[in-house]
Structure 1
Amino acid sequence: MHTDRERRVLDAVHTGVFAAGNWRPAASGRTFEVVDPATELPLIAVADGGPTDAGAAFDAACAAQPDWAATAPRERAEILRRAFDGLVARTEELALLITLEMGKPLAQSRGEVAYAAEFLRWFSEQAAHIGGTYRPAPAGAQRLITHRQPVGPCLLITPWNFPLAMGTRKVGAAIAAGCTMVLKPAELTPLASFFLAEVLSEAGLPSGVLNVVTSSDAAALVAPILADSRLRKVSFTGSTEVGKILLRQAADTILRASMELGGNAPLIVFDDANLDDAVEGTMVAKMRNMGQSCVAANRLLVHESIAEEYVERLAERMAALRVGRGTEDGIEVGPLIDEKQRQKVAGLVQDAVTCGARPVTGGLMPGDRGYFYSPTVLVDVPATARIAQEEVFGPVAAITTFRGEDEALTLANQTRFGLVGYVFSRDISRAFRVAEALETGMVGINEGLVSNPAGPFGGVKQSGLGREGGDEGIEEYLSTKYMALALQQN
């Protein structure tokens, strides 16, 4: 059962389709249940939207686009700033909501609220600085002028692992640029998106700029929007496999696309690394969100001369983590999102052991309720193990040793993914040399946390297209218009 406080927070959340500034049930009248992954009990039923609801939401976005594009940049900025204040002011109830629907400990949920709010503040500062250029043509007879304009109505699709932050990272940029949107949150964690829509509405966001539709059948919901010739952009965060499907669909109408997809992050610890920093950085890079993060360290590559001490320290830290329901005091590791994800993690661990890896700690599914998996350390993980090629998305540290820098880079780049990598070394020349050679869009140097609203988040290879956050983030929602002006001669 849920506590009175938990029930009050849940009862205060809108659960319908949000279109044209109004909340209403799904056109079909159907709902689906959001489940607490720590208890396996239903939290609340939400609208199960379909193509009719998608059409209504997208019509609202298209109708609002001309007026919103013409809105003064300062006005857009002030709305985002008020929304930032609104999220911060309601941190505790929003953090509890995230913990209930996603499972992460309350301390991490509070951290997500702060991180998510910062995207709104960052893009509020970007909104009034959208620039253009004016310069003479090389031949001198013309002036070349560029003007930045919003791309137009957008479809934004967010994942379940950071249900609020992945929303603000997209929504904040779109609002700042002058775009309207339909937001389709993950079926497993839609409640934070409802909360975000409410906060933005209270901050003065006009009706139709942001529309939110949830569904138990994502493909059926987004298909009519993707096929609509009025859509100008799709932004998706999720698996590479789904991203490929969306890119194929986007090709039919030549849509602008931003794709933040899967990862298989290498974390390299050289023999000259500060072990205290390396272990602490590994814990951050590996265990944030129970390892359910696209930037989680997936393959730990450790120099053979320090491997024994590194493993001993890391295993001690991992074994000491408290596992349980995220609402309880002192809990550091919550459940995985659902049973399917837990079985995937267990399967990857078992495959690694079968291939010759040795478990040092963990590898258990504790308790009889909730999708928990104990923090796990594996050593001697061979390149043939699936965990060396697949994103584990769970609390499993898979360790492989190396002898030299070239071998470490070969192992690190031996993947179709390229989102992020981590390097630990006190030799600054080596650190930068390796960072530049890593085939990734981001690198943490003696740092286990790379995510920052002021930094451009994104990958290369099959980890995606485009960037979110940083100065580049708003560019994804702008198009460039070039005008040639002929100067009349006296």
Structure 2
Amino acid sequence: MTDRRTLLAEVPTGIWLSNTSVPAKSGKTFPVIDPATGDVLVEVADGGVDDAMAAVAEAAEAGPKWAATPARERAEILRAAFEEVQRRSDDFALLMTLEMGKILPESVGEVNYGAEFLRWFSEEAVRVGGRTTTAPAGNGEILVIKQPIGPSYAITPWNFPLAMGTRKIGPALAAGCPMIVKPAEDTPLTMLLLAKVFADVGLPPGVLTVVPTGTGSAAQSAAVMADRRVRKVSFTGSTGVGSLLIKQSADQVLSTSMELGGNAPFIVFDDADLDKAIEGAMAAKMRNGGEACTAANRFFVQNGIRPAFTAALTERLSTMTVGPGYDDTSELGPLINAKQLDRVAGLVDEAIEAGATVQTGGTRLDGPGFFYPPTLLTDVPAHCRIRDEEIFGPVVVIVGFDTEDEAVAAANDTDYGLASYFYTNDLNRTKRVAARLEYGMVGVNRGVISDPAAPFGGVKHSGLGVEGGVTGIEEYLDTKYIALTPHTD
């Protein structure tokens, strides 16, 4: 593994244009903070509208040639990028831990997960198909082909700095679309290093550009989406921002993929295997420190098993070691920034004031850094925001229930519909509950469900479109119908 100082010196910190790191046209920079200490890691170019327009121009120029590049060549570049990311797994993992805070083992897990999208879509690049059929009326042939949608704009979040990028870049490049990426302000370094990796393995200039920004995110996105040369926007983040982007996309009738907020239920029935349910709860809630759109947010536990489940989960949470993600002993790192720390602490404080019982945690930790302890609350009144809003932190709220209908109704009582989880050993119940849950993804007796080979997406206010799986590349392809005349002798 490269040491921290050497790694940070190697990572590009400018706007990534023409496979080169260049300063922002304004000359401005913004700091990237280590959430474990609050210290500045590096200063990164603060891209503005002019920088974004330069990226659009490059993408528009590179697009036709990249679309015409044989699928096998595009696939080989994606495969080479996959292999290089894997070769530098330790570097990517350390970089993510430095700028985002998650513990190193989880960062290594994200490298493996994120890199897999590059390999998966390298294989899908050569499988884009079409069809030819005889018109039912016998008056010709129907030819259907798939073509790249065109220059695409990706806005990626801070919680999975690599995987949320590769999940968009992989299918775009495989389909033949150039991609402009705006990484999150808190975590631009991982994406900039990935762009350098792509350049190193032979991706032509202009096919992938990266425009970090610390102050002008809204203006940059509005300008890019207003440009007629851009044909696609893909966003992962909050429902509020996603809704605004959908409205902005309407003027140019852009294709949109929106992976938005979640409010995942985690249901434990009396017949569940308690030990497996506890392991699943730890994975679904505490992975990434709870800062995941798929994180379990509301725990509904049937009253027969609830005391045992609560006691066991409280014990597990209370013994977790909290500290910097790059320390070998740490099991839980910091939250991303002071704003998120204040929000999580505020939700917990409000619930306690309303009468919630603290089983463990519940009080913010002393600095430096943005740490909050593993926390478990019971007896939380129904009106508390912590039961209705996405927590995005290491806080568990347990609510009891008596019947299956009661659990399903409570789980579906939200505007969101991304991920859901439940534990049972009853096969008939498995089929019933999975069908009734109003979510794009359902985990049965497992707490981690993301898989590059599976479709990832939600319903209701959790988004539009699907990423990953065999359908992921379709988001970057247009369907064209060609009417052919009948064959004549």
Q: TM-score interval w.r.t. the shorter chain?
A: over 0.9
Give yes or no for the alignment of 1:240 onto 2:236. no
**Residue type matched to 1:264 in 2?**
N
Q: Which residue of 1 aligns with 2:36?
A: 38
Please show how residues 111-130 of structure 1 align to structure 2 within 5 Å: 111-130=109-128
Give the TM-score taking structure 2 as reference length. Answer: 0.99
**Residue type matched to 1:373 in 2?**
Y
Q: Which residue of 1 aligns with 2:212?
A: 214
CA contact (8 A) 1:20 1:61 kept: no
Q: Which residue of 2 aligns with 1:12?
A: 10
- 1:325 is paired with a residue whose SS is coil
User: Aligned residues: percent identity?
Assistant: 55
**Residue type matched to 1:103 in 2?**
G
Q: Which residue of 1 aligns with 2:263?
A: 264
Q: Which residue of 2 aligns with 1:163?
A: 161
Q: Deviations over 1:180-217 (max 9, x none)?
A: 01100000000000010011111111110000001112
Q: Which residue of 1 aligns with 2:272?
A: 273
Please show how residues 270-419 of structure 1 align to structure 2 within 5 Å: 270-419=269-418
Gaps of 5+ in 1: none
Q: Which residue of 1 aligns with 2:144?
A: 146
How far apart, CA to CA, are the structure 2 residues paired with 1:67 and 1:168? 22
Give yes or no for the alignment of 1:84 onto 2:82. yes
- 2:470 is paired with a residue whose SS is helix
How far apart, CA to CA, are the structure 2 residues paired with 1:398 and 1:275? 17
CA contact (8 A) 1:304 1:402 kept: yes
Q: Which residue of 2 aligns with 1:205?
A: 203
- 2:127 is paired with a residue whose SS is coil
**Residue type matched to 1:97 in 2?**
L
How far apart, CA to CA, are the structure 1 residues paired with 2:196 and 2:87? 14
Gaps of 5+ in 2: none
How far apart, CA to CA, are the structure 2 residues paired with 1:470 and 1:157? 20
How far apart, CA to CA, are the structure 2 residues paired with 1:322 and 1:56? 46
Shift of 1:5: 2.1
How far apart, CA to CA, are the structure 1 residues paired with 2:2 and 2:65? 43
Shift of 1:4: 9.3
Q: Deviations over 1:361-386 (max 9, x none)?
A: 01122232100000000112232110
Total equivalences in the alignment: 488
Shift of 1:74: 0.5
User: Larger deviation: 354-363 or 291-300?
Assistant: 354-363
Give yes or no for the alignment of 1:433 onto 2:432. yes
Q: Deviations over 1:144-191 (max 9, x none)?
A: 110000100001000000001100000011000100011000000000
CA contact (8 A) 1:382 1:400 kept: no
Q: Which residue of 2 aligns with 1:254?
A: 253
How far apart, CA to CA, are the structure 2 residues paired with 1:98 and 1:232? 30
CA contact (8 A) 1:159 1:238 kept: yes
Shift of 1:141: 2.2
Q: Deviations over 1:227-255 (max 9, x none)?
A: 11111000000000000110000001100
**Residue type matched to 2:344 in 1?**
V
How far apart, CA to CA, are the structure 2 residues paired with 1:226 and 1:298? 33
Q: Which residue of 1 aligns with 2:471?
A: 472
- 1:374 is paired with a residue whose SS is coil
CA contact (8 A) 1:153 1:180 kept: yes
How far apart, CA to CA, are the structure 2 residues paired with 1:227 and 1:209? 20
CA contact (8 A) 2:56 2:229 kept: no
Q: Which residue of 2 aligns with 1:178?
A: 176
- 1:187 is paired with a residue whose SS is coil
How far apart, CA to CA, are the structure 2 residues paired with 1:338 and 1:291? 14
